[in-house]
Amino acid sequence: QVQPVESGGGLVQPGGSLRLSCTVSGFTFSSFVMKWYRQTPGKERELVARITRFGARSNYADFVKGRFTISRDNSKNTVYLQMNSLKLEDTAVYYCNADAEDLYGPGSNYWGRGTQVTVLL
């Protein structure tokens, strides 16, 4: 089975930094477009960042541009989200998503269980 597993969440002060990691086991990692989402209670899950299968292109939501960086290391089966200049409103559960639907069709999409990021004084 394909199982993304997130790590690196925690408690941080405004202006601080965290690096999230997501490791995917059970399949060839380069098969996946990797994405980070986040969700706060009362809001829909929203896309934070996306990186293509070999890291050629990255996309970011407007609310994180200039602060967050997505990257991947296919040799380690891992995608990262470097989060700098954190704001209170960045508090959320962050989810990793592995998407191979372009290659293998509907259903080839896998979610991690999430990692909590809390920004506060």
What CA–CA distance (Å, rounded) separates 10 from 17?
Answer: 10
The answer for 38, left when phi > 0, alpha when psi is -120 to 50, beta otherwise, is beta
Say which residues have a Cβ less than 8 Å from residue 114's Cβ, sequence separation at least 6.
Answer: 6, 39, 93, 94, 95
Tell me the per-residue pLDDT of 57-104, one tens digit each, with 9 for 90 and over: 999 999 999 999 999 999 999 999 999 999 999 999 999 999 999 999
25 pLDDT above the threshold of 90: no
- Only one residue has tokens 């592995």, namely 98
Question: What element of type H or E holds 63?
Answer: none
31 pLDDT above the threshold of 90: yes
- Give the mean model confidence (pLDDT) for residues 10-36: 96
Half-sphere exposure of 115 (CA within 13 A, CB side): 19
pLDDT band at 26 (very low <50, low <70, confident <90, very high): confident
**CA geometry: angle at 87 spanning 53 and 92, to 5°?**
60
Tell me the per-residue pLDDT of 32-63, one tens digit each, with 9 for 90 and over: 999 999 999 999 999 999 999 999 999 999 99
Write down the pLDDT at residue 1.
83
Torsion angle (degrees, nearest 10) of CA 67, 83, 103, 111: -140
What CA–CA distance (Å, rounded) separates 12 from 82?
Answer: 13
